[in-house]
Amino acid sequence: MTAQATLDSRGSVPDAKFRPPRHGWRVVAGKEFADHLLSIRFYILVLILGVSAAVPLYAASATIRDLAPIATEDPAPFLALFVLEAFSIDLLRFFAIVAVVTPLLGLVFAFDGINGERSEGTLPRLLSQPIYRDDVINGKFVAGLAVIALVLVVVTMVVVGFGIARLGILPRSSEVLRIVVWLIVTVLYVGIWLAFGTLLSVAFRRAAESALAGFGVWVATALFGTLIASLVAGLVAPAGVGDTATELANAGTRDMIQRLLPINLYSEVSRIILIPSEGVSVPGSIDQLGQLQQQIPTLYSVDQSLLLVWPQIVAMVAILVALFAAAYVLFLRQEVRA
């Protein structure tokens, strides 16, 4: 039989139809997405996020209603729902609650994505299907990110609907645009924790170990991140009492360390996006401090606010890519035994 006889009428090898599909990750993502929506953890996390946001949301709406004559003159009264603190506590702002609670979404939907399949013995059978190996981790990550985006969109729509019903005002076009930008940044922020959870799921053989490591890092960064940054900054650049130069050096060092933490990057981006009059408030020198003190308060447009936080957004994207790339490479190099 000649080589030509082994080719079909299209000039391809007949066995080509048995090759893995080019978009096998879509099959994995669709199955994982359906499993997430039907899992009890999905509804528990939605309930936790909703309850956590209820207190600052209700307090902010009550404050806005009490200050209705003043609020009508505010350039962005509807955004006050997201930024006003409850009971004069800065941490009880809606976006601050989201910064602390939403990492649970990323960790819970990823900590057992790979090692769970391995412990149940289904990973070898999954990889024996006609799909590429990287389709597994890609599909699981896409499915987790899609579920997280769905949860955040639903919660944001509930907040907007609650604000319209309770305040009796409609958000302006600029406010809607800022909310959409903030929502995209929030999905990116939670995606970092999803990538981190995926990395832990690949690195640890047992789901309990990856869950413990993930929740430990979450607690350390969410509750003690600022304290750790302050302690390290005090050692690297001690601040002298009444010495402006050393105080600025200490503040700059502390700010640099804090910006290594995703929660601080996200909080700064959220504050500047949701508050039109907010700018970057950490001066890097005495001259910048003097300029900041002499600056006349102004309102930034959406594109100007984005320019202010563009470095933070790029840093968040870089962290997400680095974490997922590490999980991707580690998974491809691991041995999977039947």
Average pLDDT over residues 322-335: 91
pLDDT in tens, 124-176: 787 777 788 888 899 999 999 999 999 999 888 988 888 888 777 788 888 89
* 283 three-state secondary structure: coil
Confidence bin at 25 (pLDDT 50/70/90): confident
Q: Using a pLDDT cut of 70, give the percent of the chain over it.
A: 77
Percent composition of the chain: helix, strand, coil (DSSP 3-state, to 5)? 75, 0, 25
Which amino acid, residue 147?
Answer: V
* 11 three-state secondary structure: coil
Domain ranges for the chain: 22-333
Token pair in block for residue 317 = 């994207």
Position 55 scores a pLDDT of 76
Residues 293-301: contacts with CB under 8 Å, at least 24 apart: 299/75, 300/272, 300/276, 301/174, 301/276
Q: Which residue has the higher pLDDT, 123 or 64?
A: 123
pLDDT in tens, 302-314: 888 899 899 899 9
- CA angle (90 as vertex; 244, 193 as ends), nearest 5: 95
Strand partners, 89: 86
